Structure formats: C-alpha cells, structure tokens
Amino acid sequence: MKNFLFSLGALLCVLCIGPASAAEKPEPNYVDAATLTLVNKPHATKQPFHRVEVADYPDLSKTVRLYYTYSTGVAVVFRTDSRTISARWTTTDRKPSTHMTGLSQKGMDLYIKRDGEWVFAGIARPGLGADHKATLVEHMDGTEKECLLYLPLFDEVKTLEIGVDAGARIEAAPNPFRHRIVVIGSSITHGTGLSRPGMAYPAQLERATGFEFVNLGASGQCKMEQFFAHVAAACEADAFLFDSFSNPSAQQIEERLEPFVATIRAAHPTTPLIFLQTEVRESRNFNDKIRKFEDDKRAASEAGMQRLLKQDKNIYFLNPGMPLGDDHDATVDGVHPSDLGHGRILEVIRPQIVKILKKHDIR
C-alpha cells in the first residue's frame, strides 16, 4: 500500500511539473532600445531616455531638472516580424502618486500601425520596484509591423531593452512623424492623472496629425520662468505650443508673459507660438477662494494675450484651449484631466492647430 501511494504521488508530481516545464516560454532576444529610433526629443542627450540635457541649463530649478530626466513623451520606433513583443527596463524606485496609475508613472504602452493608423496594441505593466519585465503583446501573425512604444510619464528610465522571439528581426524604423512642435506646459501636459503614457494630449496629437509633438511638460512648475524660455529658445522647432497659464498666478502672468515671449522671439523670430487658455477647474465649483484665483489668472492671460496678438501676427491664442465639457466628469481630482478630459481637449484644439500650422506651410 505504501509503495502504491508513493508511486501515485510520484506520478502526480510528474503530471503537475512536466506540463508546466514544457509550457515555459523561451527567453526573448533583447535589443537595447537606445539603438533603435527615439522620437519626441528636442535634441540628443547623453542619457538616451532623458528629455533634455539638463547640464546645458544651469538655471533650471531643482524640480524641473528632475522632471526633465523623466522619459515623458519619448517613444521608441522600430520594425519587427516577431509574434511576441516584450520589454525589460529599470527606473528609480520612486513611490507612486495617489492620483496616478503605476502604468502611467513607470509603465509603457505600445501602438502598431495598421492601415495607416496607430492602433493600441498592449501595455508593459511595471513591477513595484525599480526592475521591470513584461510582455506587451503576443500571438500575433509573423508579418512585419511598425511599432511605437511610449515610455513612462513620471519616472527616469535608466535602461530599456525590447524583446522579440528567437530568430525574429527587429530594426530601427525611420521617424514616422514630420516637422517638430515643442509643447511646454504644466502637469496637464505632463500627463498627471492619465491611465497610460500614450493618452497625454501631445501624444494623441501626434498620432492624429502625423506631426512630432515633443512633450516638455513639468508638473506644477510651468510659471513662465526664464529658464523655460531658454529651453524653448535652444530647441529646433517648427512651432511651439504653450500650456503656460495653468500654474502661475494672475500677478505672475502679468509680470512674466511678455519677457517670456521676448526671450523666445530672440531665437525664433517668426516661428508660430500657440498659447492655450487653461482649463476651467472643477475644484472651483464650491470653493470661492479657488474660483477667484482661477478667474483672476484667466482674465490676466486673456488681457496679456490680447496685447501680444496686436504686436505679433505669428502668435495665436486658443480660448478655450483646454475644454473639458459641462458634465464635470473629465478630471481625476478636480484639476487634472482624465483620459476622457485629454480626449475632449484633443477634439477641440486639433483642427485649430492644424489650420494654424497649415497657414505656415507646416502640413
């Protein structure tokens, strides 16, 4: 009886362990993403996944210096015939924010071009620490595909490798986007509150228009300080888009708007400068102090822009610039637009931006 039970137990172990071992997937072949095509950067950086070479701007504030090491908006473009696409990457061990998903902060999302359109394909779900590994999509057919992988919004990517099946090809693809529009802005531009990186309105704009949109959003920091103007002045850009009225007070807008524009104009005399009026915040609905602060700064931005519009024919003001609708359901916390909110912003500003760019033969 004992021998029978022992034999039965051994058989069960074989049945349980054997199939699991047989089902284990082979390790992907990994390629350093830095050897592929990186897009949505204003210039090359020593650390490939940083947005800005912060050492070139000694006047950056400590917080903005940190934020510009984040990979916000940066994407990897490549071609592969692999049936599975994986990734392994390292970030910092920064703790997640309460109003952000781990996926938007440290994860990635993948788009694949189909019939001329970028179609969502999968996500790279991050771990809880600094080391991450994920399969983004599997069980695809073996035809060659053009891929666009958006990097994390709110962390520094230290290393990134793209994994493909053994024997599959992977190679850098040409930049699929034309021209370059640099976006400087607040946490809204940065993508605070979104579910995943590709949902930020600059990323949605580039997929919808075919233009390259460089995301230089800096959460809570964009108050038209001169160092932002210095960054813009150093960029090679066909146009600029500014979300510059979300963070500053009315007094800061009155004092800083014209010097901010003057610094940029010294380097880009005729480049289109498109300014977005800020959102109407839901946090003002029942808070009279916030309501007055927001009303004052919106009035200051309107007055300041009217002065500039009279002086410069290549400056534009979209008002409303960040419309969220009338149902009060398009933010995650009364301030930061959700995926729905960014979609509503895109719906209104996209045709206006395209029309302005076309006027400047950017098409």
Q: What is the CATH number of the domain that holds 89?
A: 2.60.120.260
Residue 23 has pLDDT above 70, yes or no: no
Report the distance separating Cα 115 and Cα 235, nearest Å: 33
Higher pLDDT, 14 or 128: 128
Q: What is the mean pLDDT of residues 259-267?
A: 98
pLDDT value for 18: 43
User: Does residue 320 have a cis peptide bond before it, meaning omega lies within 30 degrees of 0?
Assistant: yes
Residue pair 154/97 in contact by the 8 Å Cβ criterion: yes
Q: What is the mean pLDDT of residues 37-56?
A: 97
Residue 185 lies in a domain: yes
Report the distance separating Cα 268 and Cα 180, nearest Å: 14
**161 and 298 assigned to the same domain:** no
Q: Which CATH number covers residue 243?
A: 3.40.50.1110
Higher pLDDT, 26 or 91: 91
Residue 88 lies in a domain: yes
Q: Which residue has the tokens 């969502």?
A: 120
Contacts of 88 (CB under 8 A, 6+ apart): 30, 131, 132, 133, 134, 160, 161, 163
**187 and 168 assigned to the same domain:** no
Q: Is the pTM of this model over 0.85?
A: yes
Cα angle 213, 261, 64; round to 5: 60
Query: What are the tens digits of pLDDT across the range 96-106?
Result: 788 889 999 99
Report the distance separating Cα 183 and Cα 191, nearest Å: 12
Residue pair 145/85 in contact by the 8 Å Cβ criterion: no
- DSSP classification of residue 334: S
**201 and 308 assigned to the same domain:** yes
User: Final residue of a domain: which of 156, 172, 188?
Assistant: 172
| Helix H or strand E encompassing 361 | none
Q: What is the mean pLDDT of residues 255-278?
A: 98
Beta bridge partners of 172: 78
Report the distance separating Cα 262 and Cα 271, nearest Å: 12
pLDDT value for 25: 75
Q: What does 26-58 look like in DSSP terms, one character per residue?
A: PPPEEEEGGGSEEES-SS--SSTT-SS-GGG-T
**152 and 189 assigned to the same domain:** no
Residue 217 lies in a domain: yes
Residue 344 lies in a domain: yes
Residue 5 lies in a domain: no
**216 and 279 assigned to the same domain:** yes
pLDDT class for 16, splitting at 50, 70, 90? very low
Report the distance separating Cα 200 and Cα 20, nearest Å: 40
User: Final residue of a domain: which of 111, 146, 172?
Assistant: 172
pLDDT value for 11: 41
Residue 104 lies in a domain: yes
Residue 2 has pLDDT above 70, yes or no: no
**158 and 37 assigned to the same domain:** yes
**269 and 326 assigned to the same domain:** yes
Residue pair 100/193 in contact by the 8 Å Cβ criterion: yes
Counting the structural domains of the chain, the total is: 2
C-alpha distance from residue 356 to each of 94, 273, 309, 317 (Å): 40, 10, 14, 11
Domain residues for the domain of 144 are: 29-172
Residue 94 has pLDDT above 80, yes or no: yes
**What does pLDDT average to over the chain?**
94
Residue 345 lies in a domain: yes
* In 210-338, alpha helices (H): 226-234, 250-267, 288-311
User: Final residue of a domain: which of 172, 193, 217?
Assistant: 172
Query: What are the tens digits of pLDDT across the range 207-237?
Result: 999 999 999 999 999 999 999 999 999 999 9
**148 and 244 assigned to the same domain:** no
pLDDT value for 143: 98
Residue pair 341/281 in contact by the 8 Å Cβ criterion: no
pLDDT-above-90 percentage for the chain: 91
**182 and 167 assigned to the same domain:** no
Query: What are the tens digits of pLDDT across the range 158-178?
Result: 999 999 999 999 999 999 999
Residue 23 lies in a domain: no
Residue pair 276/334 in contact by the 8 Å Cβ criterion: no
Report the distance separating Cα 295 and Cα 289, nearest Å: 10
**59 and 197 assigned to the same domain:** no
**182 and 305 assigned to the same domain:** yes
Report the distance separating Cα 121 and Cα 109, nearest Å: 8
Query: What are the tens digits of pLDDT across the range 54-68?
Result: 999 999 999 999 999
**221 and 345 assigned to the same domain:** yes
Residue 116 has pLDDT above 70, yes or no: yes
Residue 1 has pLDDT above 60, yes or no: no
